Amino acid sequence: MKPSYKGKSRRREDPHKINERIVAKEVRLVGDNIEMGIYPTEKAIEMAYELGLDLVEISPNAEPPVCKVTDYKKFLYEQKKKQKEIKANAVKQEIKEIRFGPNTDEHDVNFKMKHAISFLEEGNKVRAFVFFRGRTIVFIERGIDLLMNFANKLIDDGYAKLEMEPKREGKKVVIILAPKNAKK
């Protein structure tokens, strides 16, 4: 019994126009072993075929579009390799959370500040928040003052910069701090 397929076969569309799919009347030609310049599209395709390569449109929005004479599979491989390298070199930044209560004591704030400093030095963002439980919701101003004092100490000492002002989110007041100098 044959399996029944409900959809049509999906052919993945190429991200670039190649050879006869290029619709522009003339193109700017680049590549190895060719004379760069502006050519009619048909002439550029012929030049690519003579070298046993493909004509690939790499910049379709330019006037005229820029096309490269290259092996298309090799071109796609190099593009994928570049994207992978860019992704690997990107700085991965996490958001670490620090929680306070509206009646948090000065000693506890200083203790949590040491944690915040270590997070910021590692290159992570810090999301500090005051959580209001039950009737403590009436002390919102106290919570905002606590967060601003916490943030100001970190900013004055040169560890952080303020990314988001204190903002109320339900039973919390939240502030976000980013590292002053991003880790490289």
Structural domain boundaries of the chain?
Answer: 19-76, 95-179
Do the Cβ atoms of 9 and 21 come closer than 8 Å? no
Rounded Cα–Cα distance for residues 22 and 51 (Å): 18
Tell me which CATH homologous superfamily contains domain 19-76: Translation initiation factor 3 (IF-3), N-terminal domain (3.10.20.80)
Structure tokens at 175: 């502030």
* Residue of 128, 127, 140 whose CA lies nearest to 171: 140
pLDDT tens digits for range 20-36? 888 888 999 888 888 88
Please give the mean pLDDT across all residues of the chain: 85
CATH C-level class of 95-179: alpha beta
pLDDT of residue 93: 77
Do the Cβ atoms of 100 and 151 come closer than 8 Å? no
Report the percent of the chain where pLDDT is more than 70: 90
Q: Which of 32-36, 45-49, 77-81 has the lowest mean pLDDT?
A: 32-36
Do the Cβ atoms of 87 and 50 come closer than 8 Å? no
